């Protein structure tokens, strides 16, 4: 999936989502508790995101509009602001994973409880405002947003504080949206002309989009957009529009928004013609409004559709994967080239399009293999086996199936493994699996009839023509058996012992947990000795200081040294630094590894492409024994 920055540069239309607050209140949530929904009712929020995706939205806003510390205090609420925003972003990403199509998540940043630097009203200083916004930005980045929307703004000083807090930490795209009344100005008297002029002079450059939301119904909002359009065109700033479903009124003790989906949608072509690149909805709009907008704009250029698998694709894939090109097992590559494998997680739902698109992207960039997680972190995902098969049907690339003993008894796991072999899967990474207690189904029962060592023995037995009980299986499988190792384990003697047992059981290659310093692997090898089988080194390039802190403190098996953390602490966008560190790590360890196992941050493969290109340029001509 392309980045949001690239998508916004394309001459295409992106449909935004609709209201979250009014929709959640309609679902029975207390208005005073709306900022805490990501922590208290995550499933309700995720289902709302899914409704908008199914209606046609491809830009989702996090439920964080009033979640800054200033607003929470004014509402009498308390919460960990960083955690609240991280969870909101994760819930939106979860919904996107379930939906399976390309979509982008933008972190919603609303006004503070007071204006900023006002000459006539009690207000916050610029420094105080930036301090309120910093944890907001930190949480959204930790949750993996693709960009930010600074929305429902009424004054320029608040915009300046929010944008400064964002740009201190990130180079991701920013949308700034103002709320204009039907009279044509914000609550502090800012006109559309003044707003767009100020955005053209924003320190650090204008935002990627400027627009209008809330404040009024579709017709007054269209008027505000038209007033911004000439100067926006001069400044080459695309516009965005998120109208309310009309002016609200109290009907039978309930807030009622009168504009129907059909009426709101009739304004969409005019908004598009005025220069709006993103069109969605605000207060009172529902999934029906978004669906009507999407249908109205369908005759205009739309986002490219992800390639859909069908019978014709299967035939084409089979033609590509003829007898000469069909994958035969990853060990055929060792000794011929430096192997590059990329980890992809299956989707959270039934739609595999996004993971298939990612697989094609990394294969075209030069990846030799794609390894597929088996519901990692004990969270429910599409079957890893089904995902591996779908990828193999479309691409002549090796797939490495992660296979855990957590969810299957001894009989079931043997049946699935035999089925995998019948479907052409040859590479299996034998894992015990994360316990259910850390995932979505803490009450689920783990099986663990055997551990990863026992699973290696089962696979090796299949290769010898018999099952776990010694019964003949009518032939010999040809599994290439991989195992994991954690070079940074606290109990290094235990980790060494387990790897020895895995190798004795029949393992043919090793994949390590991600490491960040050559000393981490050297320390393990000093204790273990030379490895008798190929090693794929785990590498997960860091992208930010917040991500590094999260991985170091909350993800089992990953250790990031203080020296590396210090290098990221004051870097605005750490993507390039993370890639440089990964390249240097591979340079340092090239003599003891036979390949690399790349793990993308937030399931985004595009940042890995420069690293794959570097590997292919430097290592592809080098043979490994």
pLDDT tens track for 281-319: 999 999 999 999 999 998 765 433 333 333 333 333 333
pLDDT, position 572: 81
Q: According to the model, what pLDDT value does residue 139 have?
A: 97
Q: Which of 137, 85, 130, 86 is nearest to 112 (CA)?
A: 130
Binding residues: 214, 282-283
For the chain, residues classed under CATH 3.20.20.330 are: 4-296
| Burial bucket for residue 386 (CB in 10 Å: 0-12, 13-18, 19+) | middle
Residues of the chain with pLDDT under 70: 250-254, 300-327, 378, 437-442, 620-625
Q: Say how far apart CA 329 and CA 158 lie, in whole Å.
A: 57
pLDDT score of 315: 36
CATH number of 4-296: 3.20.20.330
Tokens of residue 429, six digits: 């990474």
Helix crossing, 126-143 with 545-554: angle to 10°? 50
606 burial (CB, 10 Å; 0-12 / 13-18 / 19+) is middle
Judge whether 445 and 409 are in contact, CB under 8 Å: no
Helices (H), 464-593: 492-505, 518-528, 545-554, 562-569, 575-589
Adjacency order of strands within the sheet including 276-279: 14-15, 276-279, 239-242, 209-213, 174-178, 147-153, 104-109, 59-61
| Helices 311-320, 384-394: crossing angle, 10 deg rounding | 70
How far apart CA 112 and CA 118 sit, in angstroms, is: 13
Extract the tokens encoding 198.
């100020």
Output the known binding site for Zn(2+). Answer: 214, 282-283
Contact between residue 148 and residue 171 where contact means Cβ atoms under 8 Å apart? no
Q: Where in the chain is the domain with CATH 3.20.20.220?
A: 331-541+572-619
Number of C-beta neighbours around residue 300 at 10 A: 12
Q: What is the pLDDT of residue 190?
A: 95
C-beta of residue 346 within 8 angstroms of C-beta of residue 100: no
Q: What is the mean pLDDT of the chain?
A: 90
pLDDT at 250 (0 to 100) = 61
What residues contact 311, with CB distance under 8 A and at least 6 apart? none
Q: State the fold for domain 331-541+572-619.
A: TIM Barrel (3.20.20)
User: For residue 301, what pLDDT is reported?
Assistant: 52
Residues 402-420, buried b or exposed e (16+ Cβ, 10 A)?
A: bbbbbbbebeebbebbeeb
């Amino acid at each position: 999936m392309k980045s949001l920055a690239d998508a916004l540069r394309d001459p295409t239309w992106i449909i935004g989502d609709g209201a979250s607050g009014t929709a959640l209140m309609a679902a029975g949530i207390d208005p005073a508790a709306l900022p805490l929904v990501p922590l208290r009712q995550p499933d309700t929020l995720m289902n709302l995101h899914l409704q908008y995706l199914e209606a046609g939205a491809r830009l989702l806003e996090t439920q964080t509009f009033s979640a800054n510390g200033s607003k929470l205090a004014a509402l009498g609420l308390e919460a960990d602001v960083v955690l609240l925003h991280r969870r909101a972003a994760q819930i939106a990403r979860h919904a996107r994973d379930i939906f399976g199509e390309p979509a982008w998540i933008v972190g919603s940043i609303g006004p503070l409880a007071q204006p900023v630097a006002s000459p006539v009203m009690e207000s916050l200083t610029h420094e105080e405002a930036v301090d309120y916004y910093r944890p907001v930005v930190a949480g959204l980045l930790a949750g993996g947003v693709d960009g930010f929307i600074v929305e429902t703004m009424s004054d320029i000083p608040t915009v300046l504080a929010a944008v400064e807090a964002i740009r201190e930490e990130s180079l991701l795209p920013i949308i700034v949206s103002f709320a204009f009344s039907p009279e044509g100005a914000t609550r502090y008297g800012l006109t559309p002309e003044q707003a767009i002029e100020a955005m053209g002079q924003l320190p650090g450059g204008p935002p990627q989009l400027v627009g209008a939301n809330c404040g009024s119904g579709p017709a007054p909002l269209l008027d505000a957009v038209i007033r911004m359009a000439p100067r926006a065109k001069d400044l080459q700033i695309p516009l965005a529009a998120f109208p309310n479903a009309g002016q609200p009124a109290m009907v039978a003790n309930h807030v009622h928004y009168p504009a129907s989906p059909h009426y709101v949608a009739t304004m969409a072509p005019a908004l598009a013609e005025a220069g709006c690149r993103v069109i969605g909805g605000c207060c009172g709009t529902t999934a029906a409004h978004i669906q009507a907008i999407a249908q109205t704009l369908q005759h205009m250029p739309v986002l490219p559709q992800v390639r859909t698998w069908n019978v014709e694709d299967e035939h084409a894939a089979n033609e590509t994967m003829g007898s000469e090109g069909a994958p035969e097992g990853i060990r055929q590559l060792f000794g011929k080239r430096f192997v590059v494998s990329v980890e992809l997680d299956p989707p959270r739902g039934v739609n595999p399009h996004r993971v298939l698109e990612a697989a094609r992207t990394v294969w075209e960039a030069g990846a030799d293999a794609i390894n597929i997680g088996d519901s990692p972190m004990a969270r429910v995902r599409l079957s890893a086996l089904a995902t591996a098969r779908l990828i193999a049907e479309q691409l002549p690339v090796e797939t490495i199936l992660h296979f855990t003993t957590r969810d299957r008894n001894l009989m079931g796991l043997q049946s699935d493994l035999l089925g995998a072999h019948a479907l052409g899967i040859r590479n299996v990474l034998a894992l015990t699996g994360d316990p259910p207690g850390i995932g979505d189904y803490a009450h689920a029962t783990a099986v663990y009839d055997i551990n990863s060592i026992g699973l290696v023995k089962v696979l090796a037995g299949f290769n010898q023509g018999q099952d776990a009980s010694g019964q003949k299986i009518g032939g010999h499988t040809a599994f290439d058996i991989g195992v994991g190792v954690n070079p940074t384990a606290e109990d290094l003697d235990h980790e060494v012992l387990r790897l020895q047992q895995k190798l004795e059981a029949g393992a043919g290659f090793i994949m390590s947990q991600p490491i960040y310093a050559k000393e981490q692997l050297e320390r393990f090898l000093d204790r273990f000795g030379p490895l008798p089988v190929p090693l794929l080194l785990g590498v997960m390039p860091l992208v930010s200081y917040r991500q590094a802190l999260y991985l170091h403190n909350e993800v089992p098996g990953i250790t990031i040294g203080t020296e590396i953390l210090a290098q990221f602490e004051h870097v605005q966008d750490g993507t390039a630094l993370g890639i440089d560190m990964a390249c240097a790590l591979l340079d340092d360890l090239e003599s003891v590894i036979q390949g690399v196992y790349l793990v993308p941050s937030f399931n985004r493969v595009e940042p890995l492409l420069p690293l794959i290109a570097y590997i292919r340029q430097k290592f592809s001509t080098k043979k490994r024994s």
